[in-house]
Amino acid sequence: MPRNKKEKICRCLEGEICYSSVDKKGTEGEINIIELAEFEAMRLCDLEGKSQIEAGVIMNISRGTVQRLLEIGRKKIIDSLLNCKCIKVKKL
């Protein structure tokens, strides 16, 4: 029987945030959706310089989950930048 998912503590996001390339080479429908938890983990670790352990405590999740969120979120951002895809941050 799988464990219950822990609630991740993230900043409040009104609606959604979208970013797109200036060139707009991407075709309609090429969007990478970044979950709010992925965005929050990247904000805490990459922008504020917190360790994965500190980010985990703030978000009420394990360090391993923070590491997974960082890996997935960064991969989506790099894919968007290299392939001219839009980035949408939203609460799922």
Q: Where are the domains of the chain?
A: 37-90
Bigger pLDDT: 74 vs 9: 74
Q: What is the pLDDT of residue 72?
A: 97
| pTM given for the model | 0.76
| Confidence at 25, pLDDT banded by 50, 70, 90 | low
3-state secondary structure the chain: CCCCCCCCCCCCCCCEEEECCCCCCCCCCCEEEEEHHHHHHHHHHHHCCCCHHHHHHHHCCCHHHHHHHHHHHHHHHHHHHHCCCEEEEECC
Bigger pLDDT: 11 vs 87: 87
Q: What is the pLDDT of residue 26?
A: 47
What average pLDDT does this structure show over 61-85? 94
